[in-house]
């Protein structure tokens, strides 16, 4: 006689980039095994597995390859909380004596931090406006792993969505044309692009603990999926 089929619970969350309500399910044991295997692989494989898990567990209803990096991180964190547990353990290094303090972090309290000064439209000159797109998950993971100037410049360039002048919209161009355009920026114009990335929404949570050695109260802001992953 066949065993009964288990019902998988379905949860809802709000997609940070659009405010859209989406549904998701926890990942199953077979999917968790794949995730554990991915943790022993290279960055490209980890990125692929995480993206595929998010796609499958949101019932293939999202345009997964167009989602912003922080959308993927937020969905994955919620999946992880419902699948493995709502807490995770980490070590907080004391700012006074360098003692490592064990901390239990409640993943349900993580949130997307949004800066009031953030804008995707950059006024480069009186007549030129650049509209940016948010980097994708795989693009940001690559930057985390390979923090090099040329990669950062390339990412900044490829995240230009459109360029506006008083009478024309430029939204079709080659990568070479984009790089040439960005390389012609002044220092202050390039800093506007950098500020777009520095202030864009990010997955974050604050943790705090008292040092057991020197009694110093420590606070730290955790950011990015690499700190929430397991």
| Structural tokens at position 30 | 């077979």
Going by C-beta distance under 8 Å and a sequence separation of 6 or more, which residues neighbour residue 20?
14
| Structural tokens at position 167 | 């009478």
Length of the chain: 230
pLDDT value for 146: 60
**116-171: per-residue pLDDT in tens?**
989 999 999 999 999 999 998 888 877 666 656 677 788 888 899 999 998 899 98
Q: Is 101 helix (H, G, I), strand (E, B) or coil?
A: strand
pLDDT value for 226: 62
Q: Could you say which residues of the chain have pLDDT below 50?
A: 230
For 7-33, give one letter per residue: b (16+ CB within 10 A) or e: eeeeeebebbbeeeebebbbbeeebee
Asked whether 8 and 26 are in contact (CB, 8 A), the reply is yes
Q: CA-CA distance, 96 to 201, in Å (whole number)? A: 30
pLDDT value for 230: 46
Backbone angles phi, psi at 39, to 5 degrees: -60, -20
Asked whether 11 and 78 are in contact (CB, 8 A), the reply is yes
- Domain boundary assignment for the chain: 11-88, 91-110+206-227, 121-199
∠147-151-157 over CA atoms, to 5°?
135
Asked whether 151 and 138 are in contact (CB, 8 A), the reply is no
Q: CA-CA distance, 20 to 14, in Å (whole number)? A: 6
- CA 68, chain centre distance (Å): 7
């Amino acid at each position: 006689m066949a065993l009964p089929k288990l019902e998988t619970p379905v949860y809802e969350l709000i997609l940070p980039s659009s405010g859209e309500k989406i549904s998701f399910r926890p990942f199953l044991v077979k999917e968790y095994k794949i995730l554990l295997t991915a943790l022993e692989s290279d960055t490209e494989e980890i990125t692929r597995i995480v993206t595929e898990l998010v796609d499958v567990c949101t019932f293939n209803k999202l345009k997964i390859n167009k989602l912003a990096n922080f959308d993927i991180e937020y969905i994955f964190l919620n999946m992880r909380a419902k699948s493995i547990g709502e807490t995770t353990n980490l070590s907080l290094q004391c700012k006074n004596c360098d003692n490592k303090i064990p901390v239990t972090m409640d993943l349900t309290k993580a949130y997307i931090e949004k800066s009031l000064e953030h804008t995707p439209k950059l006024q480069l000159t009186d007549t030129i406006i650049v509209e940016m797109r948010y980097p994708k998950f795989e693009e940001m993971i690559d930057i985390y792993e390979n923090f090099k100037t040329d990669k950062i410049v390339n990412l900044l360039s490829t995240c230009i969505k459109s360029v506006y002048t008083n009478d024309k919209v430029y939204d079709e161009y080659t990568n070479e044309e984009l790089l040439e355009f960005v390389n012609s920026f002044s220092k202050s114009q390039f800093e506007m692009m950098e500020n777009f990335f520095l202030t864009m929404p990010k997955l974050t949570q604050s943790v705090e603990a008292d040092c057991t050695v020197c009694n110093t109260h420590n606070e730290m802001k955790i950011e990015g999926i690499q700190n929430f992953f397991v």
